[in-house]
Chains A and B, each alone.
Chain A
Amino acid sequence: MPSYANSDLLVTADWLAANLSNPNVRVVDTRGAARYAEGHIPGATNLPVARLDDPTHPIRSMPLPPERMAMVFGNAGLANGQTIVLYDDGPGLMAARLFWVLEYYGHEKLGILDGGLARWLAENHHVTRDPSQVTASTYTPHPHPDRLSSSDDVKAVLGKPGVALLDVRSHEEYTGAMVQAARGGHVPGAKNCDWQTALAGLNIPALKSADELAAQFAAAGVTPDKQVITYCQGGVRAAHSYYVLRLLGYTNVSNYTGSWGDWGNDPNLPVEN
């Protein structure tokens, strides 16, 4: 079975266990503080992804601006040259969101723990309740605007060949049967591929094989030669699909993080049902 083109982005529990003492590896628990306190991978720093959006921005799901993100990352002990390994205790939504944020801010060496905390435990690695000792460091974000799309960016590519708009919400949200904004439906021309279809299992989260995923995306017209823009309701599920596409080797991918919470509430933007 062919492995993922960017298999470095998926870190095995055994590799992580062998590198927990590596000073160049930083493990980040992306869950809330309460769940972190219940038990986390030894040495992991806690960086709740739920709190990394900009409260001053009119679009709710916009990441903190560079100067504030620099402070947050620095206080969590992240440094530019480190290899950062992200995890959560679900199917990887939180880890994927931070993966996208870090790639947007130019971090180059990072990956997600395959199977998250569930597989870590299933493979008999231990966790601790002891808070990790974190030494604050200096982090300098280098934004990559091509990894974040705005509604203007999406509007500018509507109907263009060579661009794939990927709506990763549920079919009900896509069709407008379930409405979570002022209007239901989807961005004209967007194809629907629910983010969960990338998963092979939930009890111990796993992704489908590279071949299966490539076939799914190809069926939706999402091929590596295209510019791909993912979106959902608020940029989290879209970040998971962004991550999967990056794992498969897609290079021209961005997250429309405003997503339907932005597009569906703007009466000036076209909608398709």
Chain B
Amino acid sequence: MAVELDLTVRPIPAGTDITEDIDLRGEVCPYTFVKSKLALEEMEVGQTLRLILDHLPAVDNCPRSFKNEGQEIIGVEPINDEEWAVVVRKVHD
């Protein structure tokens, strides 16, 4: 049985400035991370990317992968019963 993941549901602070959205609804792993990583690479350090996801494994995998790459996870929260938002701040190139 999987252990509870520490990244699941971390409310996105109100007023967080979102630089760019990427709509990944319908995408599955590993493309959810691949596409969001490519999007983040095009952004400036300090900017934030909001991922809109509906593939549940990606809700765990994307934040963890970005965290492992040294980027900052601002929050992970459900939008509705089927969709999630993940906000990542680019900390380094």
Contact of A55 among B5, B23, B56, B58 (CB under 8 A): B56
Within 8 A of A (CB), among B7-35: 23, 25-31
Are B2's CB and A59's CB within 8 A? Answer: yes
* A48 partner residues in chain B, CB cutoff 8 A: 25-26, 54
Q: Mark A232-263, 1 if CB is under 8 A from B, else 0.
A: 01111100000000000000000000100110
Is A60's CB under 8 angstroms from B26's CB?
A: no
Interface residues on A, range: 35 or more
Residue in chain B with minimal CB distance to A59: B2
For residue B82, give the distance in angstroms from its CB to the closest CB of chain A.
6
Task: Give A147-161 interface residues, CB cut-off 8 Å to B.
Answer: 151
A235 and B56 CA atoms in complex are apart in Å by: 11
A179 at the interface (CB under 8 A from B): yes
Q: Knowing A237-B30, A265-B2 touch, does A53 contact B55 (C-beta < 8 A)?
A: yes
A60 touches B60 (CB 8 A): yes
Task: State the CA gap A151–B3 with chains docked (Å).
Answer: 12
A49 to B56 CA separation, bound complex (whole angstroms): 11
With A59-B2, A233-B30 already in contact, the answer to whether A34 and B57 are too (CB < 8 A) is no
Binding site for B on A (CB under 8 A): 31-35, 48-51, 53-55, 58-61, 90, 93-94, 97, 151, 178-182, 233-237, 258, 261-262, 265-267
Q: Could you list 10 further interchain pairs (A-B, Cβ under 8 angstroms) beyond the known A60-B60, A93-B31?
A: A32-B26, A33-B26, A50-B27, A53-B55, A61-B56, A93-B28, A180-B61, A234-B57, A234-B58, A265-B2
